[in-house]
Amino acid sequence: MRTVISKGLLAATSVAAVIAGVGVAARYAPSPAEASPSASTSPLSDDRIADVAEAVVNSVVNVSTTREVDSGPWASDPFFNDPRSPFYQAPDERKASSLGSGVIVTAQGRILTNAHVVQGADDIKVTLSDGTEFDAKLIGTDPRADIAVLQLKGDLPRLKPLPFADSNKLRLGETVLAIGDPFGVGQAVTMGIVSAKGRASVGIEDYEDFIQTDAAINPGNSGGALVNLRGELVGINTAILSRSGGYQGIGFAIPSNMAKPIMDMLVKDGKVTRGYLGVNITRVTRDLASKHKLPATQGVLITDVVENGPAARGGLRSGDVVIAVDGAPMTDPGQFRNLVAMKGAGKPVELGVLRAKGRDQVRVILGELPDEKTMQRMQRQRQQRQQRDDDGN
């Protein structure tokens, strides 16, 4: 189960079984259901909830994986490696398994799930609601946002994909249903509300914009669907916040407006290309503004600018406070990172910046986000330069 306990991230694994549990904008065309005013204005009732649940439950599948395990007593102990030993285990017996959920998003068998559900998998199988099992091919993963795309193999029956909703239109308190395959027992539906939106600094993924819900999410629900009462996909369930390791009323889902463009990039290019500004940032607080005499008490502070990076070329400076991106107010560093990343490489971005002499508009052409190894190397180089500067003073 992907569970956040206080500030830590736990993953429960074993050789016999790994239950991958509950665990990141594009143009949007409204579905016919959303265009109908009656779909959003009809009163909430048990019948309406039941109708939606029955309509969407067959669009959620079980995802099971197996992978060969390289760790364990057999890794270095000849008693397990020697075929003559009574304790010998053949390679095909050294398997770990994982259970999760997925969502059918096309009639041709495309499945959207979490990256951690299929991480390291040698074999992926998808079981439909009627018990039919299919092999699945991994199209691509984006671990930074915890999204993966699968494609069912073979002769497929008639599938019922879930339509995507515009998750930006979700309202606080709106009723949602969480559908998944908890503990591998089969499809199950729970109900709750949208508790919060735009949770961008939870610390679970590199890129976050979570929908928070109190709909019960349990081990095995990772990759399952969060739907509205129009029967549309608003999010992919991915994590819970808990001090006990079990469900405590705080669950997180990757919004559809984040999941869909990532899926489209994985299908098209096999990878996700994010925009890159080349800065270090932190949230502006009143204390920080007072201590450093900043020109604003809220916003996103640029603490460092990468030499020769996109931000440096565009004229951003350390000490600038970004208060808007393309006209949208900006107060949270996670929100800022997400927006820049999803703009994409080569795209222009207009930043509203506060400086000592007043407000400026800074236009930057974004670069392409480097891979993690390159980012780590750049970070080490910045630290070394900073150390040299400190030594020189």
332 belongs to the catalytic site:
no
Distance CA 172, CA 157 (A): 37
146 belongs to the catalytic site:
yes
Choosing from 64, 101, 116, 206, which is the catalytic residue?
Answer: 116
Choosing from 59, 98, 142, 146, which is the catalytic residue?
Answer: 146
Q: Which two tokens stand for residue 189?
A: 């539906």
Residue of 5, 342, 2, 339 whose CA lies nearest to 142: 342
Q: Under 8 Å CB-to-CB from 290, ≥6 apart: which residues?
A: none
Choosing from 195, 222, 242, 256, which is the catalytic residue?
Answer: 222
Distance CA 241, CA 49 (A): 26
Distances (CA, A) of 282 to 97, 198, 332: 40, 17, 8
Q: End-to-end alpha-carbon separation of the chain, Å?
A: 49
292 belongs to the catalytic site:
no
Instruction: Answer for the pair 210, 257: CB distance below 8 angstroms, yes or no.
Output: no
Residues that are catalytic: 116, 146, 222
